[in-house]
Amino acid sequence: MAALRAEWIRIWRNPADTLATVAFNAVLMIGAWFLLPRNWLFEWTGPSGFALALAGWMYADVTATNVLAPDRERILAALDDRDALGALLAAKAVALWMLIAPICATIAIAVGVVEQDWLFTAVVVVAVALCPFGALAGSSLVGVFFPYHQRSLRWRWEQRTRWRPVVVRWLILLVVPYGVFPAFSAAIAVIPVVLWRIVKPEDVHTGIGTADFALCVLVAVAISALMWVAARRIALWRIQRHAPLADYLRDRDRG
């Protein structure tokens, strides 16, 4: 709870970091949903798919990947305490979830009111609430293996002669989150989807029933939990046993 409270304070003291990026992604997703043909960017184009798509887009940003450098003082202070470090990393994922999951769950419930399919809506809410945890933990590994310091655009322009570490690497890591979180989400969903198609191949081109969808979500939640545990262990191992990472976090001029 102390780690979560500290993360909430950090988020609200610097709204341009997490709050602005999450809101920006939400605006992008809503614009794409209503202004573009939905099958261009979305797999599930029905009304219930809106909440799932919104959650995916809001999670897919640097707030879910660059978890170390923006909070380097607390990370460095917890390097020798595995429990404190694990709590800190978990708090970052939970705080982001607390920002996004209630919004998306509320939207799913609103859609359920219109569609009058409460059981299906309940399953969507479970999917929105629980499935992202594994993908969040997996996405955080990007920031564990490839962190970058938050520096102003003016500073990066002044340091442009160091184009590979300061400009190119930074630009790549800004774009990577939009592919990393969906990739981990797909890894969570692929097994239940494949199992459904094997069991009911005649239904592949039709809508999925509520019972089948609920079973797929339960399998996905189990996979998400396993991914959460595995990703956290990898992150802790990397942080505590990789001295160059600590050296990088101590030096903001590394870019």
CA distance 220 to 203: 20
97-154 pLDDT, tens digit each: 999 999 999 988 888 888 777 888 888 888 888 999 999 999 999 999 999 998 889 9
Q: Which pLDDT tens digit goes with each residue over 63-83? A: 788 899 888 999 998 888 899
Extents of the domains making up the chain: 2-254
- Which tokens in the block code for residue 140? 């955080």
Neighbouring residues of 115: CB distance < 8 A, sequence distance ≥ 6: 47, 48, 121
Among the listed residues 171, 193, 175, 194, the one whose alpha carbon sits nearest the alpha carbon of residue 60: 175
d(CA 157, CA 136) in angstroms, rounded, equals 31
pTM: 0.86
